[in-house]
Structure 1
């Protein structure tokens, strides 16, 4: 085993990935599959768009807030408005700093007024839990806030044939987008408790399945067999990134960070502006009123070449007007695409260029997504 492998955390499916020819890479302190032998990123990406793909995203964090008033407490902390949803539904939300920038983006599962399950990003789980615990202590609230990072696996079944796979394994299929169910299903003769949410990160019809860590291998193997029968394949985090970039979905560390606000990132829809309180509200509200110094846009390549993150965006005169936050080749379009933070004066349809090691790559400003979403189909 390599020194890198020994330093990083392993998910519950680590050996399965190794046995199936996965190229492993570091994600948020975890060693996770980047792609598998037998096709690579493009084949896995295409399987999700045309059939079905199965992702192991067990590196994602898990946490829980329990006790009287748990949801009301979280609503005073996190950006979105939990009063907009009911038990049995999940919500995309943000943990902000006192400067209105993004500590993390996460999904909040409301099981009841006194029980909230959270899925933050892997590298940020400890920071989110610490911020919540500090707020709890400041309020003197009698709540239990627990880091459950290694208590659950998380698998994403994504693609037009996702329902076929779920039915084949006997898993529930919540009807409404961002709704979830807690269920007990029979996997190979054993009862397994898990949560299934109608969500994902690809723009396709799909579900995220959350079993206990010790049941993860059995659930994964059942899903992997059903995916193969349906003509799909296991997919690594390389395809997950190309899929989410095609949809213009923000990724923490790229479009979101402690130096970027949700107004700049174009996800103000994840902020409950009318709420009495949330972390960073005063600063963020002022930025919304005054206008942000940057905005997020999509860039579609007009020249041959692959955009990359962290390169300068240039106007027609060669002036730097921003920088890319993500960039990749879109297998669906057969073209380069990027997301960028740019000067607010940049307009849709404007011709710009990326400085790729001294070579200019022409791009046009567009509004994401780059491809049509099927998420709510």
Structure 2
């Protein structure tokens, strides 16, 4: 994430609202995004303890529609759509034939003939192009990036915020419902990227302000905060959730990132199946692990992890944990190194050896369900 004022950056539908609320901005995946309002730590703690409101409209959206849409998507993406049905959503991956990850995304099962996808911002075009390349006649795949906004309400009081606006909250985790607020259609899904009980709302792009203003007012009434990308990153890192380009990439497979649970191993076909089955049978050569700093120090991505004097891995994400009040990181550790959970390793931070304990994420208790 880097500061930028370039006119080439893409802009979300609520930028004027964020400026009114005093947001600071930075570039992320080609978009100008709100990074913080009250400060990352305050926003992080509000999300853990009360409620936080995030505008993540930069996330991509795509629609696969036509006879057999669900069957087609299921033959392409890793997870098994047959496990769910209409009114449910599913985390899944779009892989290359060699098992690399083009993107991780959420698939909304609207009907057998309609699947709505939410990829990451930078990868939407690649996902759409990959699907279009092999789509049979009769199926249409459209990039809906600017058709919908995405607003995430996360935290213990998230349900109270939605209830106050007459929006549904009684769906199971990864369930969704189509509703309406003040004449605006909005899809409400029990999903999120923080580990907290929460919801993601998708109103139309050009009507998002109506829903955002109402949510912002209720979040404040419930002692919450508007939250930016800074808190989103610290929250997801505490949970060990992967971020594409860090823990998942064309060079980092789902198995290495501990996302094998999002693969339908019993399916006959999906992109990358042969390579991933082979990797599963052989065992991944490296594995994502958590690192918790034992003294002082904040870890960042792309730092060398050492076992004694031997380099055994590299950090993929790193931050200060506002919940634990210590530095934490995610790192890919070589399986051949024999480093197990509970072991001590060091991370080279600009020539200083920072001692860490190897842990299995999440770093904090899961509350999602």
TM over 0.5: yes
In the other structure, the counterpart of 1:217 is 209
The alignment status of 1:359 with 2:352, answered yes or no, reads: yes
Instruction: Please report how far the alpha carbon of residue 5 of structure 1 lies from its aligned counterpart in structure 2 after TM superposition.
Output: 4.2
Q: What stretches of structure 2 of length at least 5 have no aligned partner?
A: none
Runs of 4+ aligned structure 1 residues displaced above 2 Å come to 2-5
SS of equivalent to 2:201: strand
In the other structure, the counterpart of 1:172 is 168
Contact 2:292 2:328 in 1 (8 A): yes
Instruction: Please report how far the alpha carbon of residue 174 of structure 1 lies from its aligned counterpart in structure 2 after TM superposition.
Output: 3.7
In the other structure, the counterpart of 1:66 is 65
SS of equivalent to 1:262: coil
Instruction: Please report how far the alpha carbon of residue 86 of structure 1 lies from its aligned counterpart in structure 2 after TM superposition.
Output: 1.2
1:91-110 → structure 2 map (5 Å cutoff): 91-110=90-109
Q: How many residues align?
A: 365
Per-residue CA deviation, residues 87-126 of structure 1 (Å, 9 max, x unaligned), is: 1000000000111010000000001000100000000000
1:93-132 → structure 2 map (5 Å cutoff): 93-132=92-131
Aligned match for 1:323, one of 314, 322, 326: 314
Per-residue CA deviation, residues 192-229 of structure 1 (Å, 9 max, x unaligned), is: 11100001000000000000011101100000000001
Per-residue CA deviation, residues 254-285 of structure 1 (Å, 9 max, x unaligned), is: 00001100011111000001100000111111
**Relative to 1, partners in 2 of residues 1:350 and 1:123: Cα closer, same or farther, differing over 3 Å?**
same
In the other structure, the counterpart of 2:361 is 368
In the other structure, the counterpart of 1:50 is 49
Moved more, 173-182 or 148-157: 173-182
Contact 1:174 1:196 in 2 (8 A): no
In the other structure, the counterpart of 2:137 is 141
The alignment status of 1:157 with 2:153, answered yes or no, reads: yes
**Alpha-carbon separation, structure 2, partners of 1:305 and 1:281:** 40
Contact 1:104 1:120 in 2 (8 A): yes
In the other structure, the counterpart of 1:181 is 177
Aligned match for 1:337, one of 328, 332, 340: 328
**Alpha-carbon separation, structure 2, partners of 1:75 and 1:41:** 38
**Alpha-carbon separation, structure 1, partners of 2:69 and 2:139:** 7
**Alpha-carbon separation, structure 1, partners of 2:54 and 2:82:** 31
**Alpha-carbon separation, structure 2, partners of 1:315 and 1:53:** 39
Instruction: Please report how far the alpha carbon of residue 346 of structure 1 lies from its aligned counterpart in structure 2 after TM superposition.
Output: 1.6
Contact 1:64 1:147 in 2 (8 A): yes
Instruction: Please report how far the alpha carbon of residue 27 of structure 1 lies from its aligned counterpart in structure 2 after TM superposition.
Output: 1.2
Instruction: Please report how far the alpha carbon of residue 134 of structure 1 lies from its aligned counterpart in structure 2 after TM superposition.
Output: 0.6
Which TM-score applies when normalising by structure 1? Answer: 0.95
**Alpha-carbon separation, structure 1, partners of 2:14 and 2:303:** 35
Which TM-score applies when normalising by structure 2? Answer: 0.97
In the other structure, the counterpart of 2:245 is 253
Per-residue CA deviation, residues 9-39 of structure 1 (Å, 9 max, x unaligned), is: 1000011112221111111111010111x3x
Q: What stretches of structure 1 of length at least 5 have no aligned partner?
A: none
**Alpha-carbon separation, structure 2, partners of 1:305 and 1:241:** 18
Contact 2:292 2:356 in 1 (8 A): yes
**Alpha-carbon separation, structure 2, partners of 1:20 and 1:261:** 39
SS of equivalent to 1:150: coil
SS of equivalent to 2:276: helix
